[in-house]
Chain A
Amino acid sequence: MAAAGMGFAILVIFVQLGFYSSVLNTALAVSSRLNGELILISPRFVHLSEAGEIPRARLFQVLAHPKVLSATPIYFRYVVSRDSATGNYCRLFALGFPLADARTAMPLRIPGIDDQLDALRPTGDVLMDRFTQTRCGPSSPESQFELMGTAARVVGRFELGVGFLADGAIVASDDSFGRYFSKLGYSLDRPHLGLIKLAAGSDPAKVAAGLRERLPSDVRVITREELDAYQHRHWVQNTAVGNIFGMGTVAGFLVGVVVLFQILSTDIRNHLPLYATLRAMGYTSQRLHGYVLEQSWIFAVLGYAPALLLTLILFPIIHNVTLLPIFMTGKLAAGVLVLSFIMCTVASMLSSRRLRRADPAELF
């Protein structure tokens, strides 16, 4: 019963932390796959979905730096897709870059893109993320697929998984990208990021400092790691999903503490004469607390094992149904184990207070 209660609480923590880590995966889905050491961003940059724009001319200025190998404009925006066969609308995250630049320095480290660059050449053709919601289509090769009301053709797949960011993702050439957004007056001269690749052995911090001196204030130079930090901060602190699953983890932890506290307290109450006997025999309070702690750790292990097993079954099911990037990792398994022990330690410390009632004088 105790182990079942603990197992349930630990399972809740696993699931909440699994979702939480899928929020982190979402945050870094794109930024961590940018193949460059430095990024040029707008001074208005908040996070990738609210990046602002930079003048493309700044990329040419960047190229003048001796340590810069390439400077590629990256375009991204949300696009509305429509599958004419089903009439389903979706919100997709669209990434665009010049194909010519990609041949010399591939801007994205995403499996399945670099060997399909030729397929992207015809304007309007796109690659679609394999983890895009199936309802977004295209439901059949014949069905007409639209992006921003413009006919598009899905010519291949790649593997990214944008999680909570959108229903899916597409990759297109800069020309195709411009075509979808031309109606909105969007110009390819205003990319959202500039991806800078440096010569081998360069110090990104030093090059960034040099570029900052050369460039005007309408752009900022940051490292890839700083971009990841922006993304992390935004998704963890400023989005509802980050907060919800963060709070869910805390709730799971508290449920575990309360469940185990109840179990241990009842157990101590039921065995008060036994603890009083130990105290009469000369056992110190510290030692009795140690026994309760030991007992709680046994519950932690007994609860953790089935919870881990259930999670290993649950995560693939959740991933297949929701296409969220939710996976079991060694870090997650170890983190939850540590959390379980902390949870049990807190519960045992709270319930140990009942040991004060173990009065050996009542035994005679």
Chain B
Amino acid sequence: MAAGDARKHEKAIDISGLDYAFGEHEARKQVLYDIELAVAPGEFAIMTGPSGSGKTTLLSLVGALRRPQQGRIVCVGSDLMRLQGVELEAYRTGLGFIFQLHNLFPALTAFQSVQMAADLRDDLPGDKMERIASLLTELGLGERLHYRPSKLSGGQRQRVAIARALVHRPALVLADEPTAALDSQNTEIVLGLFRRLARENGTTVLMVTQDARVFERADRLVNLVDGRIDSDSRR
């Protein structure tokens, strides 16, 4: 899956009849029930819902970080029920993950952290180094390209993690509370970046958030309650 081909598929995310449970036998606890969800390329969808509703489990299933158990889940052309080995790694390489915690290597500078993601892709168009510098600058880190995480604020670290997820222009961005550590101005910058990627690249964004500032910027709001989709509204 090369960068920039996000519009090739009719649906970026196509889920039907998806169930998921943790544990086995008496310890089995089902967290997702019969999920039906289709997200189009370039769509910016937000998943919300109370704690324990299954949002992050669904996010990790879409990211192929967990193996699906039952149902159908096809994302950017890959059937995740069948994916394994090299194909699984290739699928993940084409995604952009933004975790709640930035998880940056303390020894690497902002630039090097983003480069680690860019280095995974040999098919990025243009100059890789220029792309990294320009993305970090767009995220307000132009003056801190060569700072290590210890010299960056929480918000700045989170923006480095966002740049790391977006540098290869992924077909699908999976984000867990990416704006939680950001002020309003930087939240706007990040959301603007998502929108631009969606527009220019057809990148689909699936974001878990409770941040009300973000809701109005999304195309779609999916609300999960007790492992079921309670509401799914387009805006």
- Mutual binders A and B: yes
Chain B 96-108 near chain A by CB (<8 Å), digits 1 or 0: 0101110111000
CB distance from B167 to the nearest CB of A (A): 11
Asked whether B97 lies within 8 Å of A277 as measured between CB atoms, the reply is yes
Partner of A364 from B60, B94, B117 at Cβ < 8 Å? B60
Complex Cα–Cα for A276 and B103 (A): 9
Segment among B85-93, B130-138, B209-217 that sits at the interface with chain A: B85-93
CB neighbours (8 Å) of A273 from chain B are: 101, 103
CB neighbours (8 Å) of B101 from chain A are: 273, 363
Partner of B92 from A271, A274, A282, A364 at Cβ < 8 Å? A282
Asked whether B117 lies within 8 Å of A281 as measured between CB atoms, the reply is yes
CB neighbours (8 Å) of B92 from chain A are: 280-282
- Whether A364 touches B99, Cβ cut-off 8 Å, given contacts A281-B93, A283-B120, is yes
B43 at the interface (CB under 8 A from A): no
**In the complex, residue of chain A having the shortest beta-carbon distance to the beta carbon of B176:** A364
Asked whether A281 lies within 8 Å of B65 as measured between CB atoms, the reply is no
CB distance from B192 to the nearest CB of A (A): 24
Asked whether B60 lies within 8 Å of A361 as measured between CB atoms, the reply is yes
Asked whether B103 lies within 8 Å of A364 as measured between CB atoms, the reply is no
Query: Interface size class for chain A?
Result: 10 to 19
B59 at the interface (CB under 8 A from A): yes
Asked whether A281 lies within 8 Å of B97 as measured between CB atoms, the reply is yes
Interface residues of B, dominant DSSP: mixed
**In the complex, residue of chain B having the shortest beta-carbon distance to the beta carbon of A270:** B106
CB interface residues, A 318-364, toward B, < 8 Å: 360-361, 363-364
CB interface residues, B 3-21, toward A, < 8 Å: none
A117 at the interface (CB under 8 A from B): no
B56 at the interface (CB under 8 A from A): yes
CB neighbours (8 Å) of A364 from chain B are: 56-57, 59-60, 63, 65, 99-100, 176, 208
Partner of B89 from A271, A276, A284, A361 at Cβ < 8 Å? A284
Partner of A278 from B66, B94, B100, B116 at Cβ < 8 Å? B116
CB neighbours (8 Å) of B59 from chain A are: 364
- Whether A280 touches B63, Cβ cut-off 8 Å, given contacts A274-B103, A364-B56, A364-B176, is yes
**In the complex, residue of chain A having the shortest beta-carbon distance to the beta carbon of B91:** A282
Asked whether B65 lies within 8 Å of A363 as measured between CB atoms, the reply is yes
Complex Cα–Cα for A363 and B59 (A): 11
Complex Cα–Cα for A278 and B208 (A): 21
Partner of B65 from A271, A274, A280 at Cβ < 8 Å? A280
Total count of chain B residues near the partner, CB < 8 A? 27
CB neighbours (8 Å) of A277 from chain B are: 97, 99, 103
CB interface residues, B 47-77, toward A, < 8 Å: 56-57, 59-60, 63, 65-66
CB neighbours (8 Å) of B60 from chain A are: 360-361, 363-364
CB interface residues, B 156-193, toward A, < 8 Å: 164, 176
Complex Cα–Cα for A280 and B100 (A): 14
CB interface residues, A 252-291, toward B, < 8 Å: 271, 273-274, 276-278, 280-284
CB distance from A278 to the nearest CB of B (A): 7
CB neighbours (8 Å) of A281 from chain B are: 92-93, 97, 116-117, 120, 164
**In the complex, residue of chain A having the shortest beta-carbon distance to the beta carbon of B165:** A281
Partner of B103 from A282, A284, A363 at Cβ < 8 Å? A363
Complex Cα–Cα for A189 and B104 (A): 83
Asked whether B120 lies within 8 Å of A280 as measured between CB atoms, the reply is no
CB neighbours (8 Å) of B93 from chain A are: 281-282
Asked whether B97 lies within 8 Å of A280 as measured between CB atoms, the reply is yes
CB neighbours (8 Å) of B90 from chain A are: 282
Complex Cα–Cα for A364 and B55 (A): 10
CB distance from A76 to the nearest CB of B (A): 61
CB distance from B110 to the nearest CB of A (A): 15
CB distance from B217 to the nearest CB of A (A): 21
Complex Cα–Cα for A226 and B161 (A): 67
CB interface residues, B 121-165, toward A, < 8 Å: 164
Complex Cα–Cα for A277 and B101 (A): 10
CB neighbours (8 Å) of A363 from chain B are: 60, 65, 97, 99, 101, 103
Partner of A361 from B66, B91, B104, B176 at Cβ < 8 Å? B66
Asked whether A274 lies within 8 Å of B56 as measured between CB atoms, the reply is no
CB neighbours (8 Å) of B116 from chain A are: 278, 281
CB neighbours (8 Å) of B117 from chain A are: 281
CB distance from B35 to the nearest CB of A (A): 16
Complex Cα–Cα for A364 and B31 (A): 15
CB neighbours (8 Å) of B99 from chain A are: 277, 280, 363-364
Partner of A271 from B66, B97, B105, B164 at Cβ < 8 Å? B105
CB distance from A111 to the nearest CB of B (A): 54
Complex Cα–Cα for A100 and B95 (A): 90
User: Can you name 7 extra interface pairs (CB under 8 A) apart from A281-B164, A282-B120, A360-B60?
Assistant: A273-B101, A274-B103, A280-B92, A280-B97, A282-B89, A360-B65, A364-B59
Residues of A near any B CB (own CB < 8 A): 271, 273-274, 276-278, 280-284, 360-361, 363-364
Contacts A/B (CB < 8 Å), 24 sampled: A271-B105, A273-B101, A273-B103, A274-B103, A274-B104, A274-B105, A276-B103, A277-B97, A277-B99, A280-B65, A280-B97, A281-B116, A281-B164, A282-B89, A282-B95, A282-B120, A284-B89, A360-B63, A360-B65, A361-B65, A364-B63, A364-B99, A364-B100, A364-B176
6 interchain residue pairs of minimum CB distance = A282-B93, A277-B103, A282-B92, A364-B56, A361-B65, A360-B65
